[in-house]
Amino acid sequence: MKAILAAVVLFVAVLVSSYVRVDAQLEVGYYNDKCYLAEYIVKDEVHKAFDRNPGLAAGLVRMHFHDCFVRGCDGSVLIDSTPSNTAEKDSTINNPSLRGFEVIDSAKARIEAVCKGVVSCADILAFAARDSVEVSGGYGYDVPAGRKDGRVSLASDTIANLPPPTDTLGQLISSFTSKGLTQDDLITLYGAHTIGRSHCTSFTSRLYNFSTTAAQDPTLDASYASVLKQQCPNPKFFNDTNLVVPMDPTTPTVFDVNYYSNVLNNKGLFTSDQTLLSSTVTGNLIRQNVANPSLWESKFAAAIIKMGQIQVLTGSAGEIRANCRVINKS
């Protein structure tokens, strides 16, 4: 067993090192000689948050994804709206579903107290996503760092860049390809839906008045649909936008392959979850993940590192925000 675990760790390390050698100019251990406590502080804040509310781990992983897919991994999702601008976090896609901003705030405040103006908010979010995976039971991995923070955050950018839960497989592949990610990356990263929750509003269209020929989505397991209807009443008669359900009802706070098992059993919560079975290639990747959880966890580590290098700002291209919610004054 020790030999197998050692081999898995080595496999992840090789993948990490291969992704570091890209044009993004990021580096593992970037803060070792600049602010050596940075990653420790982030990890500590994530662990404290997880102890208070295990669901925040999923929120931070999702926040990293939503940051990277809009203007690249530049921390723009963290910026607050102003009277003259509605920021990404307040778009209908992100609000009220994104959560965990206070974890980033706490980590940033502690880091600024010991290393003022050194560690970017974008890097803090990337570290927090890694620590969230690990505290939930997934593999830890080294995060290449050196990102700078962006100065622009527009709610309007989210619509064109973040795939909605109603996407088909073709639409998902197109979205991920536009970010430099492969079909395999898509299936791998979607496994993050194994933790966290969803608002009922994201999938009730599958439960009620689905089409002119079907009351509910026929690709959704009937027994699971019945359970969901008890948790999410028909919005036509009871419209509570705050209702939420776990993405994986079995182990909602554990980073495991249950998500893929759910999809294989027609219990994917979103249309975009269930559509992953609509091709032989993607279906086989899902079955592979169920059969080999360790391989999936290793692939996930590599894929999220790759995602974390989408259109990053480095050097003089961005800034180090003093407050992750506010762009620095010129």
Annotated active-site positions, please? 66
d(CA 214, CA 225): 13
d(CA 86, CA 71): 15
Those residues whose C-beta lies under 8 Å from the C-beta of residue 35, and which sit 6 or more positions away, are 111, 114, 115, 118, 119
Rg (CA), the chain: 20
Structure tokens, 266: 């027609």
Structure tokens, 61: 């992983």
SS (H, E, C) 162-214: CCCCCCCHHHHHHHHHCCCCCHHHHHHHHHHHHCCEEEHHHCHHHCCCCCCCC
d(CA 307, CA 188): 11
Of the chain, the end-to-end C-alpha distance in Å amounts to 56
- Are the C-beta atoms of residues 271 and 211 closer than 8 Å to each other? no
Those residues whose C-beta lies under 8 Å from the C-beta of residue 249, and which sit 6 or more positions away, are 227
